[in-house]
Amino acid sequence: MSKNKILKEILAEVEKHPEIMSRREALKYLSVSPLAASLLAGTTAGATAAVASDVKGKIVIVGGGLAGMSTAARLTNTLSNPDITVIEPNPFSVSYQPGQTLVGAGLWDKSDILFNRDDFLPSGVTLIKGSVTAFDPENNKVTVDGKDEISYDQLIIATGLMLNFAAIKGLDGVITSSDEENNGIVKEKVGKNGVHSIYYMDGAEATWTGLQELIEKAKSHTGPEKLQALFTDPHTPIKCGGAPKKIMYLAHARLEEAGVRDKVELTFYPNGGKMFGVPEYHEAILQQFKDRDFKWNYKHNLIEIDTDNKVAVFDKHAQVQGAYDKDLEEYTMVTTHDRVEVKYDFIHVTPPMKAPDVVGNSAIGSDKGWVPVTKETLQHVKFPNVWAIGDVAAIPMAKTGGSVRKQYKVLVDNIIASMEGKTELPAAYGGYTVCPLITSIGTVMLAEFDWSGKPTPSFPLDPTKERWIWWLLKVYALKPMTMYGMLSGRA
């Protein structure tokens, strides 16, 4: 995508929200700022194809979301005789999931992030509108909808993950985050009566309604005790690890805007024992929480919700010293569990997440469900012609769109090298991940890092600081870059 087209798309997004930034203000900054110039250059810097190849082979991609479609596009751009099939049942599989946080805060509408799968199918790619129901890697084939067998030379798993609401007692349903057709069971309890989740589009839309209801309740609240708004973070890996905090920051902003922040207590309940895995970002977020008078309780995992009485139940867990082991000459550590019940007026639920059962229970899956791959090459550890990318891959700290932007180029280079019979794979994924952590309406902390566990900023700025330039990136630039850059295989 050209810089001019990217700029046009950014300004179109700006014009939707003049209350935050005017077109003139955005254009002025984009025109004069060296940093903005480098930001725009970065949206097209990756627009290089892999080395062209005449190699032939049938490539099947299971999953037509951002990861699958971007990979299909790049393969199409690279291979002179591509034979690519994408298997994807969801007509909205390419919808812009990072925007769900903004929908949940009333900054975007659902229509701003809803995109049709078929509009982004690369030219020449075959689309099967169905679901893979069985994998047979020994015989190089998959079964679609329980009846049709599809063979392959190379298989790419890009199914994404499942939102396992049913793992929380009192809730039901397991869905994909972009599934607009099959979330009816989830919506029986989530999206109403104070229980909300931005992790699927209908839920994000309902979250904004829920926040407005909380604000109206706060306006008429006169009791001595504050209303309670809870935000959870579960015990499983999740996509976009910053999202549970983003919606909390935005709820705070909306309550302040309405003049009722002093009537609502906002409390974060993470399963883990820190705010962020990278120490520098953990410390920055901790200070942000203190500045905003947020509360938090580490090592609390949401296990149950009584939606009728508005009570959330947490497993509070801790490691304590146990019996002394004479042989090892040390004390054993014992995990304790306490049941903690908390009343709420509003609760944002981040559901436990898992690989689709059809993947996890198959030969290509693992005990934990995720597809086991060599994390640098994305090649399956058992089957050399099977690859995985995106949320379903068993890769540390990588369930973000920013990770996929790095991964799909690595995967394409490696799969082509493998098809050409090369013994060494040329490309390696370094674990890059980015979390644009929205901290208010107008500011973002751009948390970039990799497997080193250290900040890896792309720009010469302190990455622990909240800045409005990153708001410009997050809210106005990333969607055009994703929809017209990555999904064309060139960003």
Active-site positions?
A: 240, 435
CA distance 81 to 124: 10
Query: By CB neighbour count within 10 A (0-12 exposed, 13-18 middle, 19+ buried), where does 309 fall?
Result: exposed
Place of tokens 């199409």: 76
Whether residue 147 contacts residue 157, with contact meaning beta carbons closer than 8 Å, is answered with: no
Query: What phi and psi, each to the nearest 5 degrees, are found at residue 241?
Result: -60, -20
265 strand-pairing partners? 228
CA distance 448 to 206: 30
Whether residue 275 contacts residue 285, with contact meaning beta carbons closer than 8 Å, is answered with: yes
Instruction: Tokens for 223, please give them.
Output: 């009791």
Q: What secondary structure letter does DSSP report for 381?
A: S
Query: What phi and psi, each to the nearest 5 degrees, are found at residue 303?
Result: -120, -15
Instruction: Tokens for 369, please give them.
Output: 């469900």
Task: Pinpoint the alpha helices (H) of 46-144.
Answer: 66-78, 100-104
Residue 376: partners with Cβ closer than 8 Å, 6 or more residues away: 410, 428, 429, 430
Whether residue 15 contacts residue 39, with contact meaning beta carbons closer than 8 Å, is answered with: no
Give the DSSP H or E segment for 285.
Answer: helix 279-291
CA distance 46 to 459: 16
Whether residue 77 contacts residue 124, with contact meaning beta carbons closer than 8 Å, is answered with: no
Place of tokens 């149950």: 304
Instruction: Tokens for 191, please give them.
Output: 């999206």
Place of tokens 């979330």: 183
Helices 3-15, 23-32: inter-axial angle, 10-degree rounding? 150
SS3 190: coil
Instruction: Tokens for 242, please give them.
Output: 């910053």
CA distance 449 to 432: 6
CA distance 197 to 234: 13
The sign one gets for the Cα dihedral 190, 191, 197, 201 is positive
